Structures are given as C-alpha cells and as structure tokens.
Amino acid sequence: MKAIVINEYGGKEALQEQDVPKPEINDNQVLVEVHATSINPIDWKLREGYLKAMLDFSFPIILGWDVAGIIVETGKDVKNFAVGDEVFARPDTTADGTYAEYTTVDENLLAKKPKNLSYEEAASIPLAGLTAWQCLVDKTEVKKGDKVLIQAGAGGVGSLAIQMAKHLGAYVATTASETNEAYVKQLGADQFINYQTEKFEEVLKDFDVVLDTMGGEVLEKGFQVLKHGGKLVTIAGQPDQDLAKKHGVDAMSYWLTPNGEQLSTLGDLLEKEIVKPQVGHVFTFTAEQLREAHGLSETHHAKGKIVIKVK
C-alpha cells in the first residue's frame, strides 16, 4: 500500500512516499481503508525527533493519528463493528499511523462516523476533539456559569473547545488575531482578545478555567487571570507548580487518552450540530502536499484543522 513515511528524523523533506505492506490486524482490531486523516503538532514534533525519548519507534515511521474511513476487515473478537461501517478514530500511538491507505484500529478506540459529516470533516475531530473534551470535562470539570479562557481559539483544539465550553454553559473568552475575531465569535466566544494589541492577563480576571494551547510565556501569564481555586490545564508544556501555588490554583499538563466511547459522545454532538467541525485546509495525499501541510501546522497560524484527503 502507499504510505507517506519518515526513514530518519528531520525537516519536512524527511516525508517520503513509500510502498509498505498492508498492516495485519489483531483479534481485537479492525482494518480501516483510510479516506482522510489530519495534521496535528505531534506529527511534526515526532518527525523532528523532539519526541523520540517518549516514542522510541523504529523506522520507517508512518505518522498520523486521526482517521476517518471504512472498515474492510475485522478481528474475531470484534463485537460492535462490521465490514462496511463508516468510522472515525484516534488510533493508538504506534509507528504505523494514518498517513497510509490502510490502518489498524483497536475496537475500543472506534466510533461510528456521524452521518452528516464528510470523511474530511470526521478526520478533523478525533485528536483535537478528544483533547478539548478531556481538558474541559475530565480535567477542569467546566460547569454552567464558569468563566473559561481558551488560548488560540481559531486553532484546531481551540475552535472545538470554544463550542464545547459553550455547550457546557460557560462564559468563554479567547485569544486570536484581529483577522479571526468574527470567526471565534461565530464559534460562540463571548469575549475576544486580540493578542497582537492586547495583553489578556491585563484584560481578564477571576476566571475559573484556563485551557492553554501555547506554552511558554503565554502559559505562565495564564495564572494571572484565574481566581483563587481556579484550574489551568495545558497541552503545550509543563506548568510551574511554584507559580500555581503562589496564585492558589491547580495546574496540570495533559496528553489525551484515545477513547472510542467519548468519541461517540462527540459524534452525537456533531450529528446534532451542537459542535461543528472546523476544517480550515485540505491537502491531497502526496509527499509534497504533506510537507506543505506540516509547514502550515508549524506556523501555529492555521485556521481550524488541516486535513489530508487520502481517498
């Protein structure tokens, strides 16, 4: 089968088209014909070698951990899915990712693709959607009336997190560039902060939750907007626990857990159009286009999700 792989760590040029064997499934897995996948920062961070201590894979590595497609084979222990089912998933993090014509997925990580979504839209959801959901629901327990700051609201995680926080009944503030003001307000943001001209830490105060997607100085300044007892969760670094203690808040770093049941919950919200997919860019399945897509993701200025149309 055709796959886009890396045979060494490095820049975008490390992405190469290669013919590789079709993966074989275990008893609890299905084989999915990949119709679409998407780009996430983990893709290019692993490509560059930043994650090799944590994810010690052997080459060639197929990147990509979002999939939407059709089941073409099931393992003997698979109970709830069948050949022909349209599905989407955030598969387990292995060296056999989703930049490929076929990929394997454990049954417990699968969900039925919402009928009202295209494969490209469905592929934009799993990793970013589960990240946003787990940060807001599981880790910070956002509830009705909470004031929530979502950093980089026009990005892949941010654009979904705004919608989810509004669904949970929160008042939502978000940072974005001036060109994305109308976009984040359309997603449901109650308060827009233009990060190019305003300092969010001077504009906001007494917030219950901060969802940080930026890391660095932005992460550290996030403590200043929280009320005593507030919660900060970051997907882009390690929060300073001394700062957290100083401000009297809980702070945590979070890495999502793939979860088919939660993805089915998101699927229901997508079918009811309570949450809508945010596909900002679609590329075709070639090494050249993947390199371009990685480059766009690395700018941190992509609007919505970057999707790869495989079939």
DSSP 99-110: SBSEEEEEGGGE
Burial of 273 (0-12, 13-18, 19+ CB in 10 A): exposed
Say which CATH architecture domain 128-253 belongs to: 3-Layer(aba) Sandwich (3.40)
**Are 2-125+278-309 and 128-253 the same fold in CATH?**
no
d(C-alpha 247, C-alpha 228), whole Å: 7
The string of pLDDT tens digits covering residues 227-237 is 999 999 999 99
55's enclosing H/E stretch is none
Q: What value, to the nearest 5°, has the Cα angle with vertex 216 and ends 210 and 221?
A: 45
The string of pLDDT tens digits covering residues 196-248 is 999 999 999 999 999 999 999 999 999 999 999 999 999 999 999 999 999 99
The string of pLDDT tens digits covering residues 53-91 is 999 999 999 999 999 999 999 999 999 999 999 999 999
Q: List the 2-6 sheet strands across, edge first.
A: 15-19, 2-6, 61-62
Distance of CA 85 to the CA centre of its chain: 23
Token pair of 115 as six digits:
């009928």
Considering the domain 2-125+278-309 in this protein, what is its CATH number? 3.90.180.10
**226 to each of 91, 143, 172, 237, how far by Cα in Å?**
34, 16, 13, 18
pTM > 0.75? yes
**Is the CB of residue 206 less than 8 Å from the CB of residue 147?**
yes
User: What pLDDT score does 190 carry?
Assistant: 98
Where do the structural domains in the chain lie, given as residue ranges?
2-125+278-309, 128-253
What percentage of the chain reaches a pLDDT higher than 70? 100
